[in-house]
Structure formats: C-alpha cells, structure tokens
Amino acid sequence: MNDQHTDNSPDRILVNKVLSGNTDAFAIIIKNTEGLVAQVVYKMIPNNEDRKDIAQDVYLKAFHQLQQFRFQSKLSTWIARIAYNTCLNYLEKKRLFFPPYAPAAGEDAEDPLEVLSNQQLDNLTSETEKLFSQKELAAILQAAIEQLPPLYRLLIILFHNQELSYIEIAQITQLPGGTIKSYLSRARKTLRDNLLLTYKKEAL
C-alpha cells in the first residue's frame, strides 16, 4: 500500500518525536487514541479487572513496536489493531471464545426490509423521543447493543460510534471487507429485532 501521509502529517510528526526520545509526544498519542482502544478492550474483554492491565499492555506494545509503523494506515487504527490482537491473545489464554458470526447461507446482507440501515440506526433516538427522554433513549440503545454477541457489539461501536470506515475496521480486525459488511448487517438486524421485541413495533 502506498504511503498516503505527507512528511508533515500529525501522525508522522508524533511518531518521529517519540522515536527521537520525546516521551511527551507518546502521551499525546495515548490521549488521541485511548477512546478507541477503550472501546475495543471493553467490548472484547468481559472481566472488568483485566481491562486496565490489557490497555496498559497495548500501549507498552505500541511504544516498543512504534519503529515498525509504516504509515500504511492511521496511527490510531494501527494501535487499535494491537488492542484487538492483544484481546484475542488474552481470550485464547483464558480459553474464552470471541466468535465470528457468519451470515446464513443465502442471506441477503443488504436487504432493506430486514436490516436496520445506518440512517435508521443513527436516527433511532429521534423516532422514539415522544416516549423517552434523550438520556433514557441513549441508555436503551446502549443496553441493547451490550446484549449483542461480542463481535457484533464491537463492529457496531467501531462503525457507528467511532465512525470508522470498512477499510479501517478491516485493518483492525483483519476480516475481509465483505465479511464486515455482512456481520454489521446481521448485527443491525439483531439489534432491531431485540428493540422491537422489548419496546413493541408501535414504539419504534
């Protein structure tokens, strides 16, 4: 992949400073990426006590591997990939399972009649504001997302909350773009079905 960053890009400037011994620059990298890393770790790791240790391990790895970063993606995406792989390694050691959920044979992943679209998901709160306060709506949606299978939960958060592209999510999870689209479609459908079951179709 060609380098799409200029020599004066913020990522390159920060990386060069860190590699030159400027630890304050790495603190800036942590500040710029800790939200994304936290989302990955919290959606993948069930044990709250281990999450902080894993996040620290992620940045320790990022610091020591920084000279290997080739600017073929955003720095935040590269660090999120380290977070994803670190979580997978943790789960493997604990003999826990973070399963993929493949589309059923013959399923149309983009069927607008069955799948909650991006726009519908993003506008879900405005559709139900007559019944719930904004704070209640956010809590309802978040609770519904937390009930999804782990991989669905992670993809929903990366795509909708973090607003990452399919390419960026693929760089983090190392899943094919088509697979990510299919998983996201199934995740939205599951989320929609759960919400309809809980709050009735008339409320949505």
* Cβ–Cβ < 8 Å for 51, 45: yes
pLDDT of residue 49: 86
Q: How far apart are CA 196 and CA 204, in angstroms?
A: 7
Q: What is the mean pLDDT of residues 11-29?
A: 96
Reported as a pLDDT band with limits 50, 70 and 90, residue 175 is: very high
pLDDT band at 28 (very low <50, low <70, confident <90, very high): very high
Distances (CA, A) of 178 to 38, 66, 80, 157: 25, 30, 20, 18
Residue 184's closest CA among 123, 115, 126? Answer: 115
Contacts of 115 (CB under 8 A, 6+ apart): 109, 185, 188, 189, 192
Look up residue 71 and give its DSSP letter: S
From the number of C-beta atoms within 10 Å of its C-beta (0-12, 13-18, 19+), residue 54 rates as buried
Residue 116: band (very low, low, confident or very high) from pLDDT cuts 50, 70, 90: very low
On average, the pLDDT of the chain sits at 81
Q: What mean pLDDT do residues 194-199 have?
A: 77
Ordered structural domains, the chain, with CATH:
10-93 (1.10.1740.10), 118-203 (1.10.10.10)
